[in-house]
A and B are shown apart, each in its own frame.
Chain A
């Protein structure tokens, strides 16, 4: 009972059990979101309901009616998209205006999109079109399923006749026969149309598998805690400290495996079905789902889910036993994590990168990850060659599961019972000493700054966080579409042609263009606008008298990346940049506290200003990494995607900035913006260092700072506007404030930036006093 209580009543362990479940639901939700911005949840719900409603409509129709309905629906979505993107202009829609308006009024889904912003509505439409494509593919699959089964039989018959596969005693021949026989049993299975998305989305959600593995690893580590605390000897000396304790732990692992399955997979399944399907669809044959077209088991969707969850729990239990075995035989607890990392990495490499056709494919499927990515055993049909006979990977894996579980269980019991914690041979220690001897030669040369960097990158594992930051930054979006009136297309085209300083060549171009467009009213209207714009720019330049150069520049790229149209993207990217800074800097100070070396460091000659100075430099470098991952990518997108933009253009040349009181060029504007962003991010880094200097463990620091700064920023980005008063995300983004300031020169726009810069300066000063202390003491004495 004591061990159950120790494991399940520990708040930390409950958190590590609850957190993956919450993360799984959150990421499952996020993975389905067609759009990130202020109406993202609304768009998600509307989109999923649209899918579910369309499925219900299709269910009651004949196939031909269904295809026809899908075509109509697709056309309506296209029309609505064009209408919305062109600011309510009806010229580009494919039906008469009255019909369109009537459809719009009658279509509940399209009417509901009017509440959304333009960008959100565009994403919703685009996602709905994908849903229609999915439904069409489902219909194609259902109608073609019996043909598919026939094709397999024909293919098998043809292959058997060829000389390569014809010899009866070969693996190939046996494989063809086995495949044909197994698929033959599926004849007569009724496949029915339904809301497949609810189930397929759940099956394909890969992250759940890794979060489940995380839960199992946490429980296995909990069994090894006494080893880390140096209490193995004490525990083993107790009456029930060996086999009996091990048996209790086996039961705990089994319970944790079941609990993890219920919390992680069960919650997601319910969420998925509620979101885009219904529970009645579980009565269909499992082959009704396209992802199971190769599954040769006679079972309903509901039956398969029950079997899958059971296999998941058994797999989790077996994987847990395997990890326990591996870690249990390692005497030195410090190497456990490293060994675990190597085992998992090797297994994953074999699972992910070994070709299916490889002669080594048994190690690809007799693999840890076969039991982690269990769904692939059901969605892929493959026979592997064992001694010339074909064996299905699913049958093999599932049949060997209880065998593995029994073997690992025996090993775990044996290890706990017989393996002595002290005095055993320790090969790993010898290897570690050899590696450390070599590393010490390099470390001797490190300066104080080098040491601080080394501690952060290696001991605090920041090098992995940097890799994650760099990879995660690649998935950010930086542009938003800009509303364009219909004649803007030509207007923009002309502007692109004459981008640059306004000279006599510009006038010549206009003259030639007018001659060419003489009979086209639309082109003439656009040219009139261009000319008016040129005249305004010339007048402004003449009136300015400060060397302002009239310049033609298209403002859409600028608006699409840095303007008010892109505020959503700016906020999300700023929130992500903040989370990056938090994770890169949050461990620096608590690491010293946790190691208990603060007083000793501060007693050294260079242990105060020297160490703190290096930590601040490192924080600046880490901020640069986060900055580069987000904002250098943004700049690259701006310059590469909009190659026509000349950054030498004065910002007043852009129509949206025509009234700006500042006579600066675009590159200067961008430089100021990026410098401000860096400063704001560094202010955050200083605040992170200051707050974390009061925290004694690295884990608490990550959690506390994410709650304090990361979550409010993300919530603000997703539309919780009250968070603007709590989070510095607007200051870090800076784009909205800078845009407003450069448009009208109002200093009040800069208040959020000034407040956050002051907060950063204050926390930095406090940190310096706290670490160096001398001046305060002098004042106090």
Chain B
């Protein structure tokens, strides 16, 4: 067959491509990366569902997976505007579903998570919806977790029985759309086909029961490269004023696990260097309970789950010039926000009356005016007050935290490289 070559321009560089090829494949063949979530191979018609590969083609926004290359095609992939559109879509997906990375078997191998790292998403501009979606355990071999599904259509298109019948298909429409499974047809799949289906899913929505191998941190597909040299604190010293005046830091843990504080201490002896530069005021690290002066920076771990969290947070905003949300719980709720899809009543009853650790005939739900009152759901700190910076991670790495904090205190704001992003 005659393969006619065409010339396309991507971000100012000229590339050769085969006529009829999709732009996303042509770019890939030329070593040019265009991010996508739904595209996994060249198919007709292309899925074109996630819209993450939106680029500018001859000045107009369009998706790289649905457009074929043509001679004279001018593509912009990395302009600030296009980058922001793509980032917005990924943020939308995080806000739409319920993505608790630390509790997901796909974490580290998840393409959505990877896109988040790549695009440097430290918080979603869209408020998380926390709407409950079903978890389907009915099939013997496939667990379908709709909370994580991004409706990319890969499985609908690709997973078929040997007779060519669909195992998965979209149900409902709009916001209520989800992927339905045909349990009878699913039985016709071989074990290998089930594994392939789970592998095909870019997120942790299709899980092969008992077959998902959880790999250790560091060995997963999108983990941080072990060989990365973390930027050492010495690198920063140029920016640090020599007047010897220490910056005042306050920290707190709201509805969190103290993991971020633990991580904060993980710089080991580095903490001694840190203490040269900063002085701690109110913080669990110093056990100072009350603010004694105005602080330069307040670091908040955890979301807002009760009335006390709310008061503490409000006070931090008053007493600190800069407020930083540290870790996933403070940024959007994190693991404690798993309760957000359930009524508070169910949570209280499960915790105090019905749990396996409750005594028989237990009928008391603690209530006293001195006990903090639970809010109807767990809020992100940005729901309550203005937040100046976000440091993502569950928990964020120690070096990462200190690099970011020093940058904020002494440098020109926070800059975090892809390798340092981490949601789990």
A binds B: no
Binding site for B on A (CB under 8 A): none
Question: Which residues does B use to contact A, with CB under 8 Å?
Answer: none
